[in-house]
Structure 1
Amino acid sequence: MSVTTLEVPLSSHHPAAVLFDMDGTLVDSEKLWDVALQELAAEYGGKLSVAARQAIIGTAMAESMRILHDDLGQPERDPEISAAWINTRILELFRTGLPWRPGAFALLRAVRAAGIPTALVTSSPRALVEIALDTLGRDNFDTVVAGDEVVAAKPHPEPYLTAARLLEVPIAHCVAIEDSPTGVASALASGAAVLAVPAEVALPRTVGVHQVESLTGVDLELLAELVTDRAAA
């Protein structure tokens, strides 16, 4: 989905665009995924391990189901059947409401108020994203890249490269905001400046990635500095 691109000149005062991950970055939806995944594991007669659950965070649905099946010792299961079960259940859970992550709403509003283009870049499928947008606000994003709308999902750079292409801005002048190792790898590989804000999984310190404990206090000045620092690297 591409909405009218905002004409924002490249300068040291702001990034060309800000590319937001969704689950765990903008909204605290990972706990809902926990519920759905554990319920499916129980349906299959098992329990999803902590290690497998952490490995799933930020991955596309097909890879998530592979991890779940392997963790349960049931690799023969059909991932499409499992994915359909999860999608049905998570749709129900998403409709109960999605709380914002600390500082996320304020940062998103500040970016929009400054006229900076934004994209939502998520591994979640379009059906879930449509429900999440009821909380996030459809007018807060100039384009949306959902997990089932790209050939190669995170950690491949395609989702972020696609967002920059749709916004018609150079990826090197964008800031991508992520919470998971998979998402950070995708954003870093795309060539964007990366701001990492860990949620459910601790993130290792990585060259080229600026990490904060929360989005509370993150402002446009910091985002501009990230792009400048990336260009100078």
Structure 2
Amino acid sequence: MTADPLPSRHPAAVLFDMDGTLVDSEKLWDVALHELAAEYGGTLSDAARKAMVGTSMAASMRLLHDDLGQPERDPQVSAAWIDARILELFRTGLRWRPGALTLLRAVRAAGIPTALVTSSGRPLVEVALDTLGRDSFDAVVCGDEVDATKPHPEPYLAAARLLDVPIARCVAIEDSPTGVASALAAGAAVLAVPAEVPIAATAGVHQVESLTGADLELLAALLGEPPTG
């Protein structure tokens, strides 16, 4: 016996990015990345740091090495250093982005399925879930558990498969150009809330300055559903 479907005006699911979208963790990544650059005797440029936002760990380490003029370094060694340091920082310094917790609670209260779709690896996500709540998501897609990471559409397609919902009826919430590209390529409606880097105006993407005030009416509108009342 299957559960009654959600009202047609609701999204089939809401798919949340993590870093910079739900939690203000990009600043913690700043700390770890700048510390590693200093460990290697260099300084990470602003341009390289911005290019890392929303990318996989492997891609970020290649950007860091190239920026420092040390492309010969092993990305796996650098990634292990960052993993260990960021775990420490996540345990002590993870904070919600404005409006994120309120929106997540509203979505859950409405009975809309949710997924966490992140480029971060499972060990780090497990620490973050202590803040986010392990019962806040019906599915979790981590960067080290998919064949291709953002901006490839696979992470969002995987989330829709896990939730058994059509991706075209999903709303993805993202803070980075890389994440927005992934969600758009997958076929989701996209709500962008830029955090560390700007997102160019793009067809099919609705931008807000923060999630404060974002509600179920807005999510329905992204799918072209009429407001109630």
* TM norm structure 1: 0.94
Percent identical = 81
**How far did residue 130 of structure 1 move?**
0.3
Counterpart position of 2:197: 201
Paired positions, count: 224
- 8 Å Cα contact 2:28-2:93 kept in structure 1: no
Q: Following TM superposition, by how much is the alpha carbon of 1:227 offset from its aligned partner in structure 2, in angstroms?
A: 1.4
> Which of the numbers 90, 101, 112 marks the counterpart of 2:97?
101
Does structure 2 retain, via aligned residues, the 8 Å contact 1:12–1:228?
no
Superposition deviation, residue 142 in structure 1: 0.3
Aligned 8 A contact 2:11 2:220 in 1: yes
Correspondence for 1:227 among 201, 223, 226: 223
Q: CA deviation at 1:10?
A: 5.2
- Paired residues of 2:189 and 2:223 also in contact (CA < 8 A): yes
Query: Which AA in structure 2 matches 1:216?
Result: T
Aligned-residue Cα RMSD (Å) equals 1.2
- The answer to whether 1:163 aligns with 2:159 is yes
Measured in 2, the distance between the counterparts of 1:74 and 1:103 equals 40
Q: Runs of 4 or more off by more than 6 Å in structure 1? A: none
* Matched letter for residue 121 of structure 1: V
Question: Which of 2, 5, 11 in structure 2 is aligned with 1:9?
Answer: 5
CA 7–59 in structure 1, closer or farther in 2 if over 3 Å, else same: farther
For the pair 1:43 / 2:44, whether they are aligned, the reply is no
2:94 counterpart SS class: coil
1:25 equivalenced with 2:21 (yes/no)? yes
Structure 2 portions without partners, runs of 5+? none
**1: CA distance between counterparts of 2:108 and 2:50?**
32
Q: Of 72, 86, 93, which aligns to 1:90?
A: 86
| 1:53 counterpart = 2:49 | yes
Distance (whole Å) between structure 2 residues aligned to residue 82 and residue 95 of structure 1? 20
**Structure 1 gaps, min length 5:** 1-5
User: Partners in 2 of 1:213 and 1:109 — Cα distance?
Assistant: 20
TM-score, normalised to structure 2, is: 0.96
